[in-house]
Amino acid sequence: MTDDEVSVTGRRRTAAGRRRTWWPGWIWAIPLAAIGIVVWLMVRALSSRGIGVTVVFDDAAGMAANSTRVLYHGLEVGRVTALSLASDGRHVRAHLDIDGDMRPYINAGTRFYLIGAHPSLTDPASLRALISGPSIALVPGRGPPADRFVGIEGKPPERLEVAIPYTATFAGARGDIRSGSAVTLGGVEVGEVSSAELLTDAKTGAIETRVVLLLDPTRFHIEGAAPRGEDWTRVMNTTLEQLVRHGLRAAIAQTPPIIGSPQVALEMQSGAPAAGLDFSGRYPQIPTESGGGLSTLTQRLGQLPIEEIADNVRTITERVKTLADSPQLDDSVRRLDHTLADLDRTVTDLDRTLRSAAPQIAPTLESVRETVVDLRKTASDIDATTAAARRMMNGSAAAPGASVQQALRELTDAARSIRSLADYLDQHPEALIRGRE
């Protein structure tokens, strides 16, 4: 302690000093917090960065950038960010931005379905696209990661628990069958179309469409079969082999007919020639039914003798019109009506005479003769009317109905009965009083 540090009174005096530290001071807390928030936001943005995917479709079909949604189980997991023309000039590329959380589901086997591209009355769910526009459904698949896909137009089919490939070859070009089309057995969906390709033979000029079908054996509900893994292939091959031997064939169908979506229908065909599964190719081939679909219906309609049918209908119509407008027919109808009225009046008079007759009031011979004359005249009128009606109908190409023929036969029988009654009364006038012996 020096003399300077001691006051006059002898006490110690306080001395000021400087202490160094790393903390710059509270004034720097605000900028440091701001820098931390910016870094955290950058890290979060990088970690949640979306997945860029390109899907090729046949056309844009109403899709719009930043508007068309990508859905997975009904949840929005992405959007279309841009649309561009493919390098071939015939297709459209849709660039999608999908949430990063979906990265495990974007693989080579993943499929993208464009829903609502063409709304149809056969699919009421697609009618919503008239207001909200189309959407893209993501269906995960297996395989290595991928970012380029070929899109499928239409509603995604139900997920297949097991998918075993088969082929079916149809005659002609069947562009209406596309990937994703349903495969049905007796109206029940049992699979889907994996692909369809056109085959041409320049030597023979034949055109065929080869379709690869994915069938789910669990939907066939095969009795006594519950295999695991690859055993399903053996069970399915055995089952289809037996079904084909009993007439199972693949055909093109539409449900509802004509306006419905084309699909491959597996149906039992009666009288089908003997056949079996063809194992010579990459996949077993199911025999197909010759023809099928709207094109076959059009071809069959074209083979009908439409002109001859139209001529016959025209001729029959003209004959019927001529018969209906014929004055002879009108006259015959009037005569028939008059004859039936006379017959009814005669029968009524005769019945009244028989009821009022008594032994003491017997009809005179003259009244009996008048009755006989009236009966004969009535019978003759019925014969004349029936003959005229028959002549008119025999001259027409339109065959008379069964009810008209029956009426004519009954009139003929009535005339015969009246004539028999007249002959009997002519020989036995007393029968009006005594009755017939």
Q: Could you say which of 155, 175, 210 is where a domain stops?
A: 155
Q: Please indicate, yes or no, whether residues 280 and 184 belong to a single structural domain of this protein.
A: yes
Q: How many structural domains is the chain composed of?
A: 3
Is the same domain home to 289 and 212?
Answer: yes
Q: Nearest CA to 326 among 396, 381, 380, 401?
A: 396
In this structure, the answer to whether residues 323 and 429 fall within a common structural domain is yes
- 111 & 77 share domain: yes
Residue 223 and residue 145 share a domain: no
- The whole-angstrom separation of Cα 350 and Cα 373 is 13
Task: Tell me how far apart the alpha carbons of residues 321 and 257 are, in angstroms, rounded to a whole number.
Answer: 38
CA distance 14 to 7: 10
Same domain, 150 and 167: no
pTM of the model: 0.47
pLDDT reported for residue 48? 55
* Position 30 in a domain: no
Predicted confidence at residue 287, as pLDDT, reads: 93
Residue 28 resides in a domain: no
Do 139 and 80 reside in the same domain of the chain?
Answer: yes
What gap in Å lies between CA 141 and CA 216, rounded to an integer? 16
Q: Do residues 318 and 297 both lie within one domain?
A: no
* Of 250, 298, 299, the residue nearest 272 (C-alpha): 250
User: Which domain-ending residue is among 274, 304, 334?
Assistant: 304
pLDDT score recorded for residue 71: 92
- Is position 32 within any domain? no
3-state helix, strand, coil in the chain (%, to 5): 40, 25, 35
Instruction: Indicate whether 346 and 406 sit together in one domain.
Output: yes
Host H or E run for residue 409: helix 402-427
Is residue 9, in this structure, part of any structural domain at all? no
Rounded-to-integer distance, Cα 152 and Cα 199, Å: 21
How is 317-331 classified by DSSP, letter by letter? HHHHHHHHH-HHHHH
Q: Are residue 217 and residue 287 in the same domain, yes or no?
A: yes
- Look at residues 101, 125, 155 and tell me which one is the last residue of a structural domain: 155
In a domain, 358, yes or no: yes
pLDDT in the model for residue 33:
79
DSSP 97-147: EE-GGGGGG-BTT-EEEEESSS-BTTBGGGGGHHHH--EEEEE---SSB-S
Structure tokens at 205: 């000029």
Residue 112 has what pLDDT? 92
Q: Is residue 185 part of a domain?
A: yes
Q: Which domain holds residue 177?
A: 157-304
Mean pLDDT by 10 residues, the chain (437 residues): 52 61 65 80 65 90 89 91 90 92 88 80 59 85 87 79 89 77 88 88 86 90 68 88 92 73 86 87 88 51 67 74 66 67 66 56 59 72 71 54 62 73 71 58
Looking at the structure, do residues 181 and 300 belong to the same domain, yes or no? yes
Q: Is residue 43 domain-resident?
A: no
* 220 lies in the same domain as 166: yes
Q: Is 62 helix (H, G, I), strand (E, B) or coil?
A: coil
Which whole-number Å values give the CA distances from 319 to 308, 314, 323, 400, in the listed order?
A: 16, 9, 6, 12
The answer to whether residue 13 is domain-embedded is no
| Nearest-10 Cα torsion for 173, 175, 178, 184 | -60
